[in-house]
Amino acid sequence: MVQTPTRNGFVNGQDAVVPTLQSSRLPKTALFGTDGIRGRVGDFLNAELALQAGFWAGEALKGLAGAPGPVVLGRDSRNSSDMLAIALSAGLMAAGLEVWDLGLCPTPCVASLTNATDAVGGVMISASHNPPGDNGIKFFGADGTKLPSSVQAQIEAGIRGHQEATAVMKWGRQYQRPELVGDYTASLQQQVEAEVGTNEPLAGMRIVLDLAWGAACSVAPDLFRRLGAEVICLHDRPDGDRINVNCGSTHLHSLQTAVQELQADMGFAFDGDADRTLAVDNQGRPVDGDYILYLWGKALMQAQKLPGNTLIATVMSNLGFERAWTGIGGTFVRTSVGDQYVHAEMIRRGAMLGGEQSGHVICRHYGISGDGTMTALHLAAAVRNGGATLAQLRDSSFQTYPQLLRNVRVEDRDRRLNWSNSAALQAAISRAEAEMGDRGRILVRASGTEPLIRVMVEAATDELAQYWTENLVLAVQQHL
């Protein structure tokens, strides 16, 4: 019997291949945030939504691809990741696509393998740095970059029943392909060895890794050891109950303590899906994405591998970083928060290095997306060959301006995403900006990945930053 397309899936007789999703169960605001579809599992993010998302993503990817090919699928260690991956895979197969399931792996592994193979797209099941109860779905195009907003809108239109499917004459199949993760790690190893010119570029270094009970467990320790480092691991087993809990890139305390007690050369902390990393120097001090961009950028500048001496950062990057970079003849460009905006601006300007203060760094010499493991390996190699400690390099870079970031939890999704409509809150922000003048800057925004309003104040003094941070946090609590 020929399958007939309907507004909500395929119908064969009276049986729907992809069940209808009731629109009343979906939020009124956009499903896609700055990093895919993300939320607390069991609310709107569940197996039903993942099935629909897989099917309509399959429809979109088929339309974009010039030839048939598989979809690369990976996940982090959350307890809900298997459930969502299975449902999403079923949707992709219902759309007629083949699925290559990598199992546990970092997000950049999915992006890299999607780009390196004949895949038509990729999907990662992860909520990055979010707590264990959250999860998310990130889609990639055939080139390994995140899908543009127009394609995301197409997928969402299908999920909401506003788009018709095209008929398919066969179903896809799923294959377990964990061996492909080895191809990804081999490419990272070859990068660093080629850059340094030796087979064990990290020999003699003691490095502590905080793996956050997440995806980094599958790749980072082995890579650092293969490159010659002595490795001490924290939170080093995949654990869906503890992923990101008081550890990883959002909680550096245990890593700082371990680096100091073990007299290590440095430490690296990853987030749940290992697309970002923050470092700790040999004195136990944080080395965030701003420092990493400055140090890596300066090395590329000296090697004449940084076109226009340009760095792409976001509105969250410290003013001290910006002034230091322009002070050595560099060009500094800010974007909105989110690696997709950084990447887009890099492409537009032909820039080779960019990233976020949170440790999400993109170097187009070596990869197409932010990759925490890649960043950590290259920074460690640079320190090993530079003749100075990471602490010395940090001290010789720049002095940060006092910067405070406070998160205010706002559970109401519609109110949170439409926060700028609050006249009272806008008035409070305007008053703070007028009072501070050129002594600092203010950024208030809704998180694209968590139910939070983020308030950031950067000022010439700690007292000024503290005063206006408390003032604006109170305003958000009162009016939202």
Amino acid at 362: I
**Could you count the other beta carbons within 10 Å of the beta carbon of residue 261?**
10
In angstroms, the Cα distances linking 233 to 278, 380, 433 are 15, 16, 44
Give the amino acid at 338. G
When pLDDT is cut at 50, 70 and 90, the band that residue 20 belongs to is low
DSSP string, 9-67: EEEETTEESSPPPPGGGS-SS-SEEBTEEEEEBTTTBSHHHHHHHHHHHHHHHHHH-SS
Residue 396 a catalytic site member: no
**Fold (topology level) of 403-479:** TATA-Binding Protein (3.30.310)
Mapping DSSP to helix (H, G, I), strand (E, B) and coil, where does residue 354 land? strand
Do residues 408 and 445 touch, judged by C-beta distance below 8 A?
no
9 pLDDT higher than 80: no
Reading the block at residue 160, the tokens are: 């909401």
4-178 and 403-479 share one fold: no
Higher-confidence position of 43 and 128:
128
* Contact (Cβ atoms closer than 8 angstroms) between residue 50 and residue 91: yes
Q: What pLDDT, on the 0 to 100 scale, is given for residue 167?
A: 63
Q: What is the mean pLDDT of residues 435-444?
A: 86
Phi-psi region of 333 (alpha: psi -120 to 50; beta: other; left: phi over 0): beta
pLDDT at 262: 98
Q: Select the CATH number that applies to the domain covering 183-395 from these four: 3.90.1300.10, 3.40.50.150, 3.40.120.10, 3.20.20.120.
A: 3.40.120.10
Least confident of 12-26, 305-319, 371-385: 12-26
Q: What's the whole-number mean pLDDT along residues 381-391?
A: 93
Are 243 and 233 spatial neighbours (Cβ–Cβ below 8 Å)?
no
| pTM score of the predicted model | 0.88
Strands (E), 336-415: 353-355, 361-363, 403-409
Q: What's the average model confidence in pLDDT over 392-398? A: 95
Indicate the Cα dihedral angle 68, 74, 79, 84, nearest 10°.
Answer: -20
Please tell me the predicted confidence (pLDDT) of residue 22.
63
Q: Residue 168: what pLDDT?
A: 66
Task: Decide if pLDDT at 391 tops 50.
Answer: yes
Q: Give the residue among 230, 238, 246, 235 at the shortest CA–CA distance from 211.
A: 235
Beta bridge partners of residue 160, listed in sequence order? none
- Rounded to an integer, the average pLDDT of 442-457 is 89
Asked whether the beta carbons of 453 and 425 are under 8 A apart, the reply is no
What is the maximum alpha-carbon separation in the chain? 73
**pLDDT tens across 249-296, in order?**
999 999 999 999 999 999 999 999 999 999 999 999 999 999 999 999
Length of the chain: 480
Counting Cβ atoms within 10 Å, is residue 339 exposed (0-12), middle (13-18) or buried (19+)? buried
Environment class of 397 (CB within 10 Å of its CB; exposed 0-12, middle 13-18, buried 19+):
buried
Among 265, 276, 117, smallest CA distance to 184 is for: 117
Domain with residues 4-178, CATH architecture: 3-Layer(aba) Sandwich (3.40)
Of the candidates 81, 112, 126, 128, the residue annotated as catalytic is 128
Q: pLDDT band for position 14 (50/70/90)?
A: very low
Residue labelled with tokens 């410290």: 318
Query: One-letter amino acid identity for 345?
Result: E
pLDDT of res. 6:
42
Residue whose C-alpha is closest to residue 440's, from 466, 470, 406: 466
Rounded Cα gap, residues 312 and 125, in angstroms: 27
pLDDT digits (tens, 9 = 90+) for 311-341: 999 999 998 999 999 999 999 999 998 888 9
pLDDT of residue 23: 60
Query: Domains of the chain: which residue ranges?
Result: 4-178, 183-395, 403-479
